[in-house]
């Protein structure tokens, strides 16, 4: 049997339709979009089109889309863009930052950096199913005014490890009532969930192309018009002065086409992935001693996190790789380290250490899922230290 890739939350292959759209911009329409001549205008038009498509994917206006090099840069731009602006004014007071404890490190790390620069940072807890504790959010926003006003809240739409989807509209209601700004990292949800800026109610939204069949190295921050952001990358004045650098036309065109396809095919994709996920979960339920993580929460249609307590997740990934299946321990970025997400959920250490993430994609089949479940069952039968239970 051919090697089966089940790690689509790490990255997805380029959709062939996306690739075909990108190729002419590599060597034919290759102009610099900032050039005023015809070659430049061709590139500019293509980028404008992509901007409109990405905006349409999340119910935004094209003018609200700031293209970046990916989700990480979008998250960094959101946090630094808001908070550096605050600190830029002489004598400005630091603002508190609230961030969920299960955020991607692209949010957590800039938040910690801002904390080192004097902005108090508080991590918001989640329950055992990875769902944000709204009472804790209320308490942080309203009950402890003595600590000063909250400036920015960042909560992800879908968690990259567990796939759990947060109730962003209810978060937004509270954040707005407190007069703070809400950033939502929708990188893992891009192309997998319907996105609507107004319905979500956030001020800033991070997107990524490569999680939905688009190219790696392209992302966007969607920005509420009312917000004055400080750029992360100075120079050249591109992206309304919010992000300098020559626009990578093929990459952005690819992002745009991936957005069109995701929007058009979302119901069909969701149904297919959900059917595969259900099949996978049913098969995994037969593995003795296995733990389905966050199974009761609303999740992305493609994500399953499953633990074999007593096993080492990294060793499981390698064993499954040898059997011809690509899965992950948690986030690809953190291969090897214990997951901060599972720790925040309060899972027993043995569960967190034995967890793997299976993320399905559009090229996966029912046969892939069955073969994987069989392989994992086999691996599970050879529990290390057989006297563990």
Partner 1 sequence: MDHRTEPERFVYLDYAATTPVDPEVAQAMCGCMTAEGVWANPASTHGPGRAARELVETARAQVARAVNAQPDWVVWTSGATESNNLALKGFMRAHRKRGKHLITVKTEHKAVLDAAKWLERDGCEVTYLVPGADGRVDPAQVAAALRDDTVVVAVMLVNNEIGTVQPVAEIAALAHARGALVHVDAVQALGKTPVDMVALGADSLAVSAHKCYGPKGIGALVVRRAPGVVLEAQVHGGGQERGMRSGTLPTHQIVGFGAAAEKAIALLPTERARIAELRALLETRLGAIPGASINCPAAHGVPHILSVSFEGVHGEALVADLAELAISTGSACSAATPEPSYVLRALGRDDLTAAATLRISMGRGTSRDDVEFAATRIVAAVARLRALAPAA
Return the number of the residue (27 or 267) whose C-beta is nearest partner 1. 27
Return the number of the residue (329 or 339) whose C-beta is nearest partner 1. 329
147 class by beta-carbon count within 10 Å (0-12 exposed, 13-18 middle, 19+ buried): exposed
321 near partner 1, judged by CB under 8 A: yes
Q: Which of residues 202-241 bind partner 1 (CB under 8 A)?
A: 210, 215-218, 232-238
Cα 258 to Cα 254: distance, rounded to the nearest angstrom: 6
319 near partner 1, judged by CB under 8 A: no
How many Cβ atoms from other residues are within 10 Å of residue 250's Cβ?
A: 21
Task: Decide the pairing of beta strands 204-208 and 219-223.
Answer: antiparallel
Applying CB under 8 A, which of residues 48, 59, 62, 69 lies at the interface with partner 1?
A: 69
Two structure tokens written together for 171? 């978060």
323 near partner 1, judged by CB under 8 A: no
Return the number of the residue (75 or 122) whose C-beta is nearest partner 1. 75
Return the number of the residue (107 or 137) whose C-beta is nearest partner 1. 107
Strand order in the sheet with 291-293: 291-293, 303-307, 355-359
Buried-exposed string 179-202: b where 16+ CB fall within 10 A, e elsewhere: ebbbbbbbbbbbbbbebebeebbb
Q: Which of residues 236-295 bind partner 1 (CB under 8 A)?
A: 236-238, 244-251
51 near partner 1, judged by CB under 8 A: no
Q: Of 52-60, 127-135, 299-307, 326-334, which segment contacts partner 1 by CB under 8 A?
A: 326-334
Q: Which of residues 112-151 bind partner 1 (CB under 8 A)?
A: 112-113
Per-residue contact string for residues 340-369; x = within reach of partner 1 by CB under 8 A: -----------------------x------
91 near partner 1, judged by CB under 8 A: no
Q: Which residue has the tokens 């509270």?
A: 174
Task: Decide the pairing of beta strands 303-307 and 355-359.
Answer: antiparallel
Cα 80 to Cα 242: distance, rounded to the nearest angstrom: 12
335 near partner 1, judged by CB under 8 A: yes
**Catalytic site residue 58?**
no
Active site amino acids: 333
């Amino acid at each position: 049997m051919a090697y089966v890739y089940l790690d689509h939350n790490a990255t997805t292959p380029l959709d062939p339709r996306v690739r075909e759209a990108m190729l002419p911009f590599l060597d034919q329409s290759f102009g610099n979009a900032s050039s005023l001549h015809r070659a430049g205008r061709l590139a500019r038009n293509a980028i404008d089109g992509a901007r409109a498509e990405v905006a349409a994917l999340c119910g935004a206006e094209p003018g609200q889309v700031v293209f970046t090099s990916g989700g990480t840069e979008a998250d960094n731009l959101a946090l630094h863009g808001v908070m550096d602006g605050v600190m830029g004014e002489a004598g400005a007071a630091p603002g508190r930052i609230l961030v969920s404890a299960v955020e991607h490190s692209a949010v957590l790390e800039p938040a910690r950096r801002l904390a080192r620069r004097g902005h108090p940072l508080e991590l918001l807890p989640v329950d055992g199913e990875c769902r944000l504790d709204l009472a804790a959010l209320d308490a942080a926003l309203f009950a402890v005014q003595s600590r000063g006003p909250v400036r920015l809240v960042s909560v992800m739409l879908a968690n990259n490890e567990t796939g759990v989807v947060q109730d962003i509209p209810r978060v937004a209601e509270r954040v707005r009532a407190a007069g703070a700004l809400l950033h939502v990292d929708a990188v893992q949800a891009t192309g997998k969930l319907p996105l609507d800026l107004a319905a979500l109610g956030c001020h800033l939204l991070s997107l990524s192309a490569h999680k939905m069949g688009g190219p790696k190295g392209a992302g966007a921050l969607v920005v509420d018009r009312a917000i004055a952001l400080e750029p992360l990358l100075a120079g050249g004045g591109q992206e309304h002065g919010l992000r300098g650098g020559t626009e990578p036309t093929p990459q952005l065109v690819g992002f745009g086409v991936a957005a069109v396809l995701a929007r058009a095919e979302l119901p069909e994709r969701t149904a297919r992935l959900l059917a595969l996920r259900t099949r996978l979960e049913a098969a995994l339920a037969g593995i003795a001693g296995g733990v389905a993580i966050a199974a009761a929460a609303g999740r992305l249609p493609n994500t399953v996190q499953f633990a074999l307590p007593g096993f080492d997740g990294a060793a499981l990934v390698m064993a499954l790789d040898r059997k011809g299946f690509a899965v992950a321990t948690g986030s690809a970025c953190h291969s090897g380290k214990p997951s901060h997400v599972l720790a925040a959920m309060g899972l027993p250490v043995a569960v967190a250490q034995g967890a793997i993430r299976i993320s399905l994609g559009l090229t996966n089949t029912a046969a892939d899922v069955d073969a994987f479940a069989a392989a994992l069952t086999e691996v599970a039968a050879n529990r290390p230290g057989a006297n563990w239970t």
